[in-house]
Amino acid sequence: MCRNKNQISKIPCLNCTAVWKNWRNWMLNILTLTGSPVKGSSTEILLGHIAEGIIQGAPQPAHNEIINLNHYQYLPCQSCGKSPEPDYCFFKDEIYHVYDSLIESDIILFGSPVYFDTVSAQSKLFIDRCNCLRPADFSNQTNHHFKRILSKKRLGAIVLVGGERQKFEHARVVIAGFFKWVEIENCGTINYAASGWDIGTAAKDADKMKEAFDLGYQISSRINVGGM
């Protein structure tokens, strides 16, 4: 909401928008992506504790944008095989603005529940839609279809939540592969095995909460003032 005394509106005025953009350019931008369809899930809670650790330890103000992928309607990757340049993708659906957030971010936190030994459908759908953000690095290919859009490397962390007998490795490999694709260094992975069907049980696990916060604080120690 605009706080300009001459304009009280839910739509920000141009002056306020310009100030916010300049301020955000100086701030540390955290992007939290959750692939859980459950509100208040352990995935969401653990991601929040990592973000809190980063914010507490960061040498500059931080902004954490939380994207719940379950709230967006968008197509799966259609494997177009052509560059959408100057756009990110040919399909300008609800996920399109997340590309901007991804590119502007300094730190990416990605969490998913583990379903059938892999990430959720919501998580995989988003990962596939990032295929156009860079060319594939084939050693025998010099003419790439896609332009390299990502201009900087970022830090990141992964959260995986499953049942008490869950195996996490297959899901980890999927997000780790995505991190490699968009040039994010994985600073650590939090695995949480829930013992029942109750929502948000991670909040009762003090050791796991501390592990998540400490990971965020560790990430913050690698941040230079003014950005990464």
What is the residue-level pLDDT of the chain in tens, covering all 228 positions? 333 333 333 344 545 555 545 555 678 999 999 999 999 999 999 999 999 999 999 988 999 999 999 999 998 989 887 888 888 888 888 888 899 999 899 999 999 999 999 999 999 999 999 988 876 665 445 555 666 677 788 999 999 999 766 789 999 999 999 999 999 999 999 999 987 788 999 999 999 999 999 999 999 999 875 445
What pLDDT sits at residue 209? 97
Q: What one-character-per-residue DSSP string does 125-193 give?
A: HHHHTTGGGS----TT--S-SS-----S-EEEEEEEEEETT---HHHHHHHHHHHHHTTEEEEEEEEEE
Length of the chain: 228
- Written as six digits, the tokens of 18 are 């310009």
Tokens coding 112: 């998913």
Predicted pLDDT of residue 3: 37
With CA atoms as reference, report the closest residue to 99 among 65, 58, 144: 65
**How far is CA 165 from its chain centroid?**
26
The encoded tokens of residue 111 equal 């969490």
pLDDT at 15: 54
Peptide linkage before 84 cis (omega within 30 of 0)? no
d(CA 150, CA 148) in angstroms, rounded, equals: 6
Residue 114 CA to residue 116 CA, distance in Å, equals 7
Q: Which fold has domain 26-220?
A: Rossmann fold (3.40.50)
Residues 6+ apart with CB under 8 A from 92: none
Rounded to a whole number of angstroms, the CA Rg of the chain reads: 19
User: What angle (nearest 5°) sits at the alpha carbon of residue 212, between those of residues 209 and 217?
Assistant: 120
The Cα 41–Cα 199 span in angstroms is 6
Q: Return the structure tokens found at 19.
A: 């100030």
139 Cβ contact list (under 8 Å, min separation 6): none
Going from the C-alpha of 32 to that of each of 8, 55, 78, the distances in angstroms are 30, 13, 25
